[in-house]
Amino acid sequence: MIKKIIIIFVSLVSVSLYSANENIGTAGFSFLKMSYSARAMGMSNAFTGHANDGDAVFFNPAGLAQIDIRHLKTTYMNYIQGMQGGSFVYSTDYSDDWKIAPFVQFLISDAIDRKDENNNPQGTFHTNNIFLGIGFAKSLHEVLDTGFNIKYLYDKLDDCSASVIVFDFAILHTTQNENLKIGAILKNIGSQLTYYTESRYNEKIPMMLVGGASLSVPEKATINLDFVKPINDDYFFRVGAEFYVHPILSLRAGVDTRMNDYRTDQDMDFMSGIAFGMGFNWNEYIIDYAVTSMGNLGFVNQISLSYRF
């Protein structure tokens, strides 16, 4: 039964990827590619096989099935070019079989200079994005969890706006070696609801497949590897590790090969894609911090606060 479910999932993913090859390089709604979690970002977002807290909704909603207590989590992100964002997640039991996690994520910008075709100043404008969602997860077997998200995105640029509804489908499998877990998620399958212009042009939604593995060394460390294949772009890898230095302290590091795209042959290029982070666990509270480099574009910082009850 478990093998059949995995085979069906992989088959559906393969068909979706094959049928979308003609859309390479054309996707819009880029905000759907972003995920907030200081813990995950400290491992360069290599979290698909390891997702075991409220932020699983952003990486692998099947991981919600691993949470055995209610969990409230918020994240703040200081992004590049004067942009800032954040998220809120609340995970709890929906029934004896299902876990549920409503969430919200947003990104806003400072004032951006507007110029005409002759480069003359025309005042300023703002951009902001918000998406609302809810994640569900269920254990189908002691070694197989499944989950899905429903997400609504509203994207506004100056006086233009558009919206979209999308779904994520995910699985998380514990292998015969209980310290090795394998996960997969097919993200952002959906349809555009409203349009930026009266021409009602359909933007390409950035669907992607992510597969991940997580190997734990009990009470010492966890090593994670993600393989990411966007429909509209080339594949890339994310590698990260979490080290349990002390019961109250974790250290993290990771590399995201996608960040090679931000290299401009300048001084900070060697830092592109490298991330570091740490976590403090004190009773019911957890504070996580992470920083990652985007080369000469600058650094992205995230901080998360969690409360378990």
Look up tokens 């997400």; give the residue.
151
In the numeric block, the tokens 């991330």 are attached to 275
The CATH superfamily label for domain 2-308 reads Outer membrane protein transport protein (OMPP1/FadL/TodX) (2.40.160.60)
Q: Enumerate the domain spans of the chain.
A: 2-308
Both tokens of residue 39?
Answer: 């813990």
Query: Can you give the pLDDT of all 309 residues of the chain as single tens digits?
Result: 545 444 444 444 443 444 344 444 445 677 788 889 999 999 999 999 999 999 999 999 999 998 888 889 999 999 877 789 999 999 998 888 899 999 999 998 877 667 677 777 777 767 788 989 999 999 998 899 999 999 999 988 877 889 999 999 999 999 999 999 999 999 999 999 998 888 888 888 999 999 999 999 988 999 999 999 998 788 899 999 999 999 899 999 999 988 665 555 556 566 778 999 999 998 899 999 999 988 777 889 999 999 988
pTM, entire model: 0.82
